[in-house]
C-alpha cells in the first residue's frame, strides 16, 4: 500500500503556532509536517499541553500560524485568503467538540442547533428544503425527526454528541476535525459514537482528523497516527505499524502507560517513564525522517542508526517467529 497513490486532502507544512503572553513567547507547535489523505482517519495523539488541539485549531483557522502553511485540496487556506475561499473552507471543514453539553446552545431547540450552519450560509432554497436537510442529518446520526423540537438537556450524553455530529454533517463537509469527541462519554456510549463516526466515514467518504489522548481508542478508529510531544511530532506511522514497531522513546512510554483491560498483563507490566531531560541529546539537531515507507520518526543521524538497528532486530524476530 503506497501512500504516493493516495489523494492528499490536507497538507500541513512547517506549521508553527506561537502564543504571546505578557511579552513572553511560547511555541505551542514546532515545525509540524503531515499530510491527511482523502477518506482516512488520521489521529493526533498526545498529552495535554502537547499542542494537538492547537494544530486542530490552526487547521480550523481559529489559531493563527506564526510560520508555515496549511494546504487544503491544493489551495492554501492559512493566512489571508479570498472571501469565496473562506466561505468554502468554513463549509468543508467542520469540527466536533469534546463536551457535547457545552457546545450546544441550551436555549435553542435541536432544530435550530442543527440548522445554524444552514442559516449562516443560506444553504437552502426554502423552509421545506431546510427541514428535509435537518431530518436527513438527524437520521444519519441515528436520531428521529421528532427530536427536532426538543432541547439539548433532554438528551443523554451520547445523544447530544450525535446532535453535535449532525450539526457538522449538515454542512456536507469533506474533513471533520474531531477534538476528543468521546473523552467525556461513558464506555458504552463511546462505542456508539465511534461506530457512528466509522459509518459516516464509509457512507459519505469523510476524512477525519481525530485528536485524542487515549491510544486504545485511537487504534480502533485510525488509519494512521501521529504522536506529538511538547509541540513536536515525534513519530508518524500507519496504526498497526506504530503499535508493532514503536521507535521513539516517548511513543513507547505512551503505549506502556495505557492500562489494558487484562489483569494478567497489567500486573506483569513495567512502567516506562519518559524524561526528555534525561535523554542523550548529542549530535546534530533531529528532524522528522522516514525510516520505512510511511513510518516517520523524529531523530538525528545517530538516533536514526539506533532506531534502524532496533527495527531490524524486531523484524528479524518476527521473521523467525513465523
Chain residues that interact with other proteins, rule: CB under 8 A: 47-48, 156, 186-192, 194-195, 198-199, 213-217, 219-220, 240, 243-246, 252-274, 310, 314, 317-318, 321
Least distance between other proteins and beta carbon 178 (Å): 15
* Alpha-carbon distance values, 67 to 34, 36, 73, 230 (Å): 15, 19, 20, 17
Task: Select 1 or 187, whichever has its Cβ closest to other proteins.
Answer: 187
Dist CA 298 CA 58 (whole Å): 22
Q: Which residue is associated with the grid cell 520505512?
A: 292
Q: How far is the CB of 105 from other proteins (least distance, A)?
A: 23
Rounded distance, CA 262 to CA 259, Å?
8
CB of 223 to other proteins, least distance (A): 9
Can you tell me the distance from the alpha carbon of 244 to that of 11, in angstroms, rounded to the nearest whole number? 26
106 vs 318 by CB, closer to other proteins: 318
- 70 within 8 A of 15, measured Cβ to Cβ: yes
Nearest approach, Cβ of residue 112 and other proteins (Å) = 24
Residue (144 or 321) nearer to other proteins, CB: 321
How crowded is residue 244: how many other Cβ atoms within 10 Å of its Cβ? Answer: 12
In whole angstroms, the minimum distance from the beta carbon of 287 to other proteins comes to: 23
Give min distance, CB of 247 to other proteins, in A: 9
- Residue 212 to residues 53, 183, 227, Cα–Cα distance (Å): 9, 8, 10
Q: E-assigned strands of the chain?
A: 8-21, 24-37, 41-45, 67-72, 75-76, 93-96, 175-179, 207-212, 224-229, 232-238, 287-292, 295-299
Judged by CB, which is closer to other proteins: 144, or 317? 317
- Beta carbons within 10 angstroms of residue 282's beta carbon: 8
Cα–Cα distance list, 191 to 40, 65, 90, 225, 297 (Å) = 19, 35, 29, 20, 31
Cβ 212 to other proteins shortest distance, Å: 10
Residue 6 or 213 having the CB closest to other proteins = 213
Residue 269 or 281 with smaller CB distance to other proteins:
269
**Cα separation, 266 vs 119, whole angstroms:** 51
Q: 86 vs 139, which CB is nearer to other proteins? A: 139
Cβ 189 to other proteins shortest distance, Å = 7
**Nearest distance, CB of residue 53 and other proteins, angstroms:** 13
Exposed (0-12), middle (13-18) or buried (19+): which is 169, by Cβ within 10 Å?
Answer: buried
Q: Which residues contact 10 (CB under 8 A, 6 or more apart)?
A: 35, 36, 59, 70, 71, 72, 73, 175, 207, 209
Distance of CA 194 to the CA centre of its chain: 13
**Residue number with CB closer to other proteins (12 or 297):** 297
Contacts for 48 with CB less than 8 Å, ≥ 6 apart: 213
- 83/321 with CB nearer other proteins: 321
Amino acid at each position: 500500500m503506497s501512500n504516493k497513490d493516495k489523494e492528499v486532502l490536507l497538507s500541513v507544512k512547517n506549521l508553527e503556532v506561537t502564543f504571546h503572553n505578557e511579552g513572553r513567547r511560547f511555541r505551542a507547535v514546532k515545525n509540524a509536517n503531515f499530510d491527511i489523505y482523502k477518506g482516512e482517519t488520521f489521529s493526533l495523539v498526545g498529552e495535554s499541553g502537547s499542542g494537538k488541539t492547537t494544530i486542530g485549531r490552526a487547521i480550523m483557522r481559529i489559531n493563527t500560524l506564526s510560520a508555515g502553511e496549511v494546504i487544503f485540496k491544493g489551495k492554501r487556506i492559512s493566512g489571508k485568503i479570498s472571501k469565496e475561499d473562506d466561505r468554502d473552507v468554513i463549509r468543508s471543514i467542520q469540527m466536533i467538540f469534546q463536551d457535547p453539553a457545552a457546545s450546544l446552545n441550551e436555549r435553542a431547540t435541536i432544530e435550530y442547533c442543527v440548522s445554524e450552519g444552514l442559516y449562516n450560509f443560506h444553504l437552502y432554497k426554502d423552509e421545506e428544503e431546510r427541514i428535509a436537510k435537518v431530518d436527513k442529518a438527524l437520521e444519519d446520526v441515528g436520531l428521529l425527526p421528532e427530536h427536532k423540537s426538543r432541547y439539548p438537556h433532554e438528551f443523554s450524553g451520547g445523544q447530544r454528541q450525535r446532535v453535535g455530529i449532525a450539526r457538522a454533517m449538515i454542512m456536507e463537509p469533506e474533513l471533520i476535525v474531531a477534538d476528543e469527541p468521546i473523552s467525556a462519554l461513558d464506555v458504552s456510549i463511546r462505542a456508539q459514537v465511534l461506530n457512528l463516526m466509522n459509518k459516516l466515514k464509509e457512507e459519505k467518504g469523510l476524512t477525519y482528523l481525530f485528536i485524542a489522548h487515549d491510544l486504545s481508542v485511537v487504534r480502533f478508529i485510525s488509519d494512521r497516527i501521529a504522536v506529538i510531544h511538547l509541540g513536536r511530532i515525534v513519530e508518524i506511522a500507519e496504526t498497526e505499524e506504530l503499535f508493532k514497531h514503536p521507535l521513539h522513546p516517548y511513543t513507547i512510554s505512551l503505549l506502556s502507560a495505557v492500562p489494558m483491560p487484562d489483569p494478567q498483563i497489567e500486573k506483569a507490566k513495567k512502567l516506562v517513564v519518559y524524561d526528555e531531560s534525561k535523554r542523550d541529546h548529542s549530535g546534530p539537531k533531529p528532524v522528522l525522517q522516514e525510516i520505512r515507507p510511511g513510518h516517520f520518526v523524529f531523530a538525528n543521524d545517530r538516533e536514526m542508526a539506533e532506531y534502524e538497528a532496533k527495527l531490524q532486530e524486531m523484524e528479524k524476530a518476527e521473521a523467525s517467529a513465523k
